[in-house]
Structures are given as structure tokens and as C-alpha cells.
């Protein structure tokens, strides 16, 4: 059954990649820290510890802009 397990992993991986890609393309997402972009380490893809969604911002950020400000 190893084949099926690997297949499941690939599906999960693809979903994850698509999600990241969508969020990267969506630079206007309210989750992104747009004020970080001009900084040297300001455009990393991070995962929010509160909502679990990906967002763009400084590499040290652990929470998205939406969760932080709500």
C-alpha cells in the first residue's frame, strides 16, 4: 500500500504548493505585511500560528497582518 501513501503525499504537496502560489500572487491579501516588502528580509512566505494560512512578510513574523490587527 506504499504506492497509495506516496500518492496521497503528492496530492497534499500539490495542494500546499498551489495555496502558497495563490497567496504569493495575491500581493493585495490583507494577511500580507506589505510594509515589510522593501526590507531586506521582508518578502518571506510564513505560516501564521493563529489561522494557519500563509502570508508574505518579514522572515521573523509568526502571525499574519489580519490576525494581528483583528
Between 7 and 37, whose beta carbon lies closer to Zn ion? 37
Between 38 and 52, whose beta carbon lies closer to Zn ion? 52
Least distance in angstroms from the C-beta of 10 to Zn ion = 27
| Separation between Cα atoms, residue 48 and residue 9, nearest integer Å | 22
Size of the chain, expressed as the number of residues it contains:
70
Between 43 and 61, whose beta carbon lies closer to Zn ion? 61
- Give yes or no for a contact between 46 and 62, defined as CB atoms under 8 angstroms apart: yes
Please name the residue that has the C-alpha cell 526590507: 39
Enumerate binding residues for Zn ion (CB under 5 A): 48, 50-51, 64, 67
Amino acid at each position: 500500500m506504499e504506492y497509495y501513501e506516496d500518492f496521497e503525499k503528492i496530492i497534499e504537496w500539490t495542494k500546499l504548493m498551489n495555496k502558497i502560489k495563490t497567496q504569493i500572487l495575491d500581493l493585495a491579501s490583507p494577511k500580507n505585511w506589505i510594509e515589510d516588502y522593501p526590507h531586506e528580509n521582508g518578502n518571506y512566505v510564513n505560516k501564521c500560528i493563529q489561522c494557519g494560512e500563509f502570508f508574505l512578510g518579514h522572515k521573523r513574523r509568526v502571525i499574519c497582518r489580519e490576525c494581528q490587527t483583528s
